[in-house]
Amino acid sequence: MIETRALTKTFGLQPVLRGVDLTIARGERVALMGPNGAGKTTLLRIIATLARASFGAVRVAGHSLPHEAEQVRRRLGVIAHHPLLYGDLTAEENLRFYARMYGLADDGAHLGRLLERVGLAARRRDLVRTFSRGMQQRLAIARGLLHSPDVLLLDEPYTGLDPAGAQLLDEVVRAATARGCTILMTTHDLEHGFALAQRAVILVRGKIVFSARADEMTPAEFARHYEQHTGARP
């Protein structure tokens, strides 16, 4: 579902990604971890069509980038630490705006169900700028799921979420993979990421240095690998 081959990205002379080979199967949940500056967000932005690779091949949902970016975006959902919302619109207006941009019918019931799901039905007519950080992040979850994407990219999605919000996101992620959605998530929270993922990948200085199935090792073993490869205590 997601495939990168020899993916390289440089900013000026500075290499950020150095030949990343990554294959993620349909319905798989992969956590991408690594220290700051490892290139996690850059990798996600290239897969999300927000940036172009300097070299290498990227395929998402059977479409190659950058030539078929529009088809990729149609099947892609993104939940990032920035909620990507408009503070001067209400929660419902934000979802309606994005629904129109994704070519969905004006279906108030669908938006209502999503708002109900993320616990914001009672605040649907309130301006988003009056929401707390956690509430904005919940609305961002609804925005990411609006068009029922086949691939979900999560970039530090737990930022600002309270425990109930984090639990909601865990359940959304598990439910999405249960219906065949492929998930690639970056996180600094090793324990949480490892517990949620089916496969954990460590990226250091733009290269994948470790990849293992989560059911083949304990969290403590993974933490040891992380420390060994990054030099940082988790």
Partner 1 sequence: MNSTPAPDLSSPPEAAHAPEQPALAAAGPLASYWRSVLAILWKDLAAEFRSKELISAMLVFSLLVVLIFNFALQLDRVARENVAAGVLWVTAVFSGTLGLNRSLALEKDRGSLDGLLLTPVDRSALYFGKMLGNWFFMLIVQAIILPVFAVLYNLPMLTPLLLVFVVLGTLGYAGVGTLLASMAVHSRSRDVMLPILLLPVALPVLVAAVQGSGGVLEKRAWDEISLWFNVLAVYDVIFIAVAYMAFDYVVEE
Residue numbers of the site for partner 1 (CB under 8 A)? 45, 48-52, 70-71, 73-74, 76, 78, 80, 82-89, 93, 97-107, 110, 113-114, 117-120, 122-123, 127, 130-132, 135, 138, 143, 145-148, 164, 167-168, 171-172, 174-176, 178-179
CA–CA distances in Å: residue 68 to residues 50, 74, 152: 13, 10, 18
If the CB atoms of residues 119 and 234 are measured against partner 1, the closer one turns out to be 119
* Burial of 105 (C-beta count, 10 Å sphere; 0-12/13-18/19+): exposed
Q: What is the largest CA-CA distance in the chain?
A: 52
Torsion of CA 53, 177, 230, 41, to 10 degrees: 30
The residue among 172 and 202 lying less far from partner 1, judged by its C-beta, is 172
Nearer to partner 1, 49 or 187 (CB): 49
**Residue with Cβ nearer partner 1 (170 or 229):** 170
Residues 6+ apart with CB under 8 A from 140: 79, 80, 83, 84, 85, 157
> Please, what is the minimum distance in Å from the beta carbon of residue 16 to partner 1?
12
Cβ-based nearer residue to partner 1, 104 or 212: 104
The residue whose two tokens read 């950058």 is 66
Beta bridge partners of 229: none
